[in-house]
A and B are shown apart, each in its own frame.
Chain A
Amino acid sequence: MASVTIQQVRKQYGAVPVIHGVSMDIEDGEFVTLVGPSGCGKSTLLRMLAGLEDISGGEIRIGGRVVNDVAPKERDIAMVFQSYALYPHMTVAENMGFALKLKGEGKAAIEKRVREAADILALGPLLDRLPKQLSGGQRQRVAMGRAIVRHPQVFLFDEPLSNLDAKLRVTMRAEIKDLHQRLKTTTVYVTHDQIEAMTMADRIVVMRGGNVEQIGKPLELYDRPANTFVATFIGSPAMNLFEGSPADEGFVTRDGVFLPMPGDYQGAAAAIYGIRPEHLVIAESGVPATVVVVEPTGSETHVLVKLGPSDANLVLRDRIDLEPGQPVRVAPDLAKLHLFSAQGTRVN
């Protein structure tokens, strides 16, 4: 196990910069997810950590050692790929023991370590099979087995669940988290799925356009997003944002809708008013709105309403009978208000 330090790391392909000086510290044994939309540079950063991509500038340390120019095999890391990258002509056992074989370990030692890893992941009965004889979930587990067999200092996961169906993804998510809790190996996990990031990570790094937007614990990011990008990226349905300006004990949206706002925020230079869907409730004292779409999910009901000409999403835990076209009144929970400047930075 080891800590990982990334300091002002940059990457450019020719003249095109893709990572613009990213810095973060990952503690020993921590589970960190890099999350962001496609093309935000999260996979490139992970590949730079693995040594599969050169670093154009900055410094990467694993366990205190600068690894900028260290070959992947000498970084003491293991990586799980999106496509699993299992060697198709090798059995599960051979796949898992390949790195040890290359290291020149003895046959008995390899067998013992493979057996141990197989026991952890319940792969015992599959050891003699070829990857093509396995299901997607089993392949995923073999890929993880290949990683843990080496007892690396750091695990790197590159969108490992993207190729699985939704149900299996949930199961594997829990399995990976459980594995981390047992092994306590420092883990860097790349995903574009914010639910995956929220549920698995000790800390989340939100990236956009080659920059870090915010680093924090999952609930910190959810409760206090640093900017409108993080506010809308984390959470589903996304946070409701209304552009406008403060006025008379409240906030007037650009479309002229009046929203309540506590007086102490009046001088906060707020230009964007944000409220999460579950913090908008139906209340007599609220702002007039019209129901557009009602989506019951069982545990909660998603409601799309029109606040004047703007759309707003509500998530209701109580089962209330609502019909499209029905006039309602919605009120924000003022303690859960998010205010952002015109540039999108948090101001409250």
Chain B
Amino acid sequence: MTLQQPALAATAALARPARRRDKGRLFQEIGMLAPAVALLTIFLIVPFLLSFWTAMTNQPLVPRPTPVRFIGFTNFLRILKDDLFWISLWNVSRFTFWILPVQCGLAFATALLLHQKLPFRNFFRGLFFLPAITSMVVVCVIWGTLFQYPTGPLNQVIGFLSAGRIQPIDWLGDPNWAMFSIVLLSAWQAYGFQMIVYLAGLQGIPDELYDAARIDGANAFQRFWHVTMPGLRPTHVFVLVITTIQAFKLYTQVAVLTQGGPRSSTETVVHYMVRTGFEEQKLGLASAVSVILFLIVLVIALLQRQLLRRFDV
């Protein structure tokens, strides 16, 4: 004990200025964080909380002489009783169900290809990423032209390839095809992001694991199955969840190309919300839709956390 006491005293003497330093550092850190926190609060947190409040009122878009009233969960009940809301929810679910394999598959395949030691690899990486940095509106206009019925380029190619046996498809005007067409163009526009994520995932797998697998006797497919796929597990989960969340927020493509039609076959939750808020000018009701969408996305995000935790990320 006697030996330890001077040592303890020395430690305490050392700790005192350290604590003072910590305090100075704390102020510095707060100072540096403050601008970001302020901006996030003003532009994200406050509107977010306001939307919860607005969802409980009869707030119109343009102020009217009648006072805004608190109406509890009336807005939510109205939405849940509206068939169009359920149709839009069903539509985004369909969209999600289709876009996941198409977009993620395309991204994964491209990433695998561009991970190989090919000539001009970086050029192709940039090229394949181009759609992702092109404005969705521009992409919609281009694809709108491709989709034209009956003489658009896509129909002409199909007609040519099938020697006229396949009739022109009304890509955006046929309720059976419209959502699938939106899936196609959305996947093409957005797969670049997932591709980059997959590429990063692939590059994170050490080469030595492939060497070890080769020595262990694994052929190319076995190396893919036993090294690449397990190495990409967290990447797969991340990509699937991000794509799902993006899919639930589908709006621009529908707003530019179909306005929810034909016969509500491409109506989505966000499009429904915008129409309620800006065309019908019922801000309270639209806020309630946004809150419901938030809850759906939140559930997905929580599932993501669970999945990621299971895969130990």
Q: Is the CB of B206 within 8 A of A52?
A: no
Whether a CB of chain A sits under 8 angstroms from the CB of B109 is no
B residues within 8 A CB of A166?
none
Whether a CB of chain A sits under 8 angstroms from the CB of B78 is no
Whether a CB of chain A sits under 8 angstroms from the CB of B227 is yes
B residues within 8 A CB of A82?
208
Q: Interface segment, A55-63, A70-78, A172-180, A203-211?
A: A70-78
CA distance A151 to B262 in the complex (A): 68
Q: Is the CB of B215 within 8 A of A50?
A: yes
A residues within 8 A CB of B23?
none
Nearest CB in chain B: distance from A79 CB, A: 5
Nearest CB in chain A: distance from B84 CB, A: 46
Q: Is the CB of B208 within 8 A of A102?
A: no
Partner of B218, one of A52, A89, A102: A102
A contact patch SS = mixed
User: Which of A51, A79, A86 gathers the greatest number of chain B CB atoms within 10 Å?
Assistant: A79
Partner of B212, one of A47, A71, A81, A132: A81
B contact patch SS = helix
B residues within 8 A CB of A88?
230-231
Q: Is the CB of A85 within 8 A of B212?
A: yes
Q: Is the CB of B206 within 8 A of A85?
A: yes
Partner of B216, one of A83, A89, A102, A132: A102
Known: A87-B230, A98-B226. A72 touches B214 (CB 8 A): yes
Number of A-B residue pairs with CB-CB distance less than 8 Å in the complex they form: 57
B residues within 8 A CB of A87?
209, 212-213, 226-227, 230
Whether a CB of chain A sits under 8 angstroms from the CB of B22 is no
Nearest CB in chain B: distance from A7 CB, A: 23
How many chain B residues touch A (Cβ–Cβ < 8 Å)? 18
Nearest CB in chain A: distance from B311 CB, A: 9
User: Which of B211, B215, B312 gathers the greatest number of chain A CB atoms within 10 Å?
Assistant: B215
CA distance A47 to B207 in the complex (A): 13
Which B residues, 70 to 92, have Cβ-Cβ distances below 8 Å to chain A?
Answer: none
Whether a CB of chain B sits under 8 angstroms from the CB of A293 is no
B residues within 8 A CB of A73?
214-218
**B226 closest partner in A (C-beta):** A87
Residues 118-155 of A, flagged 1 when their CB comes within 8 A of B and 0 if not, give 00000000000000100000000000001000000000
Whether a CB of chain B sits under 8 angstroms from the CB of A182 is no
Q: Is the CB of A85 within 8 A of B211?
A: yes
Q: Is the CB of A98 within 8 A of B233?
A: no
Which A residues, 94 to 111, have Cβ-Cβ distances below 8 Å to chain B?
Answer: 98-99, 102-103
Whether a CB of chain A sits under 8 angstroms from the CB of B145 is no
Residues 293-321 of A, flagged 1 when their CB comes within 8 A of B and 0 if not, give 00000000000000000000000000000
Q: Is the CB of B208 within 8 A of A85?
A: yes
Residues 215-247 of B, flagged 1 when their CB comes within 8 A of A and 0 if not, give 111100010001100110100000000000000
Mark A residues whose CB is within 8 Å of B: 47, 50-52, 71-73, 77-79, 81-83, 85-89, 98-99, 102-103, 132, 146
